[in-house]
């Protein structure tokens, strides 16, 4: 594995953990001690807790265009995801922040 791949895997893990989506966080029982619901780990803070579907959408946005596209596809799959998740992921269809061209073209 190259350093580039290792850095990307680390980045993906950090984003998922920031949104409470890291498998290890739940298994280890650390979720209750990590303030992921209110935005204290690097995303916008707000008074009401973020829902799990919102965390998933935010994580996919932060991870970039390939992950956004995956979320867009999932938003159309009623056979795979419950409505609250599909509703949040459908926001990726129209409300996705633009990605700078330098990131897309490398």
pLDDT tens for residues 4-40? Answer: 887 887 788 788 888 877 655 555 555 555 555 555 5
Domains of the chain, by residue range, sit at 3-104
Indicate the pTM of the whole model.
0.74
What distance in Å separates the CA atoms of residue 12 and residue 71, rounded to the nearest whole number?
15
């Amino acid at each position: 594995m190259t350093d580039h791949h290792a850095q990307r895997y680390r980045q993906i893990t950090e984003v998922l953990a920031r949104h409470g989506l890291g498998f290890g966080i739940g298994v280890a029982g650390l979720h209750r001690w990590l303030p992921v619901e209110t935005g204290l780990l690097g995303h916008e803070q707000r008074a009401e807790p973020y829902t799990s579907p919102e965390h998933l959408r935010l994580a996919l946005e932060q991870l970039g265009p390939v992950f956004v596209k995956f979320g867009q596809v999932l938003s159309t799959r009623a056979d795979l995801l419950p409505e609250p998740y599909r509703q949040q992921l459908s926001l990726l269809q129209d409300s996705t922040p633009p990605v700078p061209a330098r990131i897309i073209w490398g």
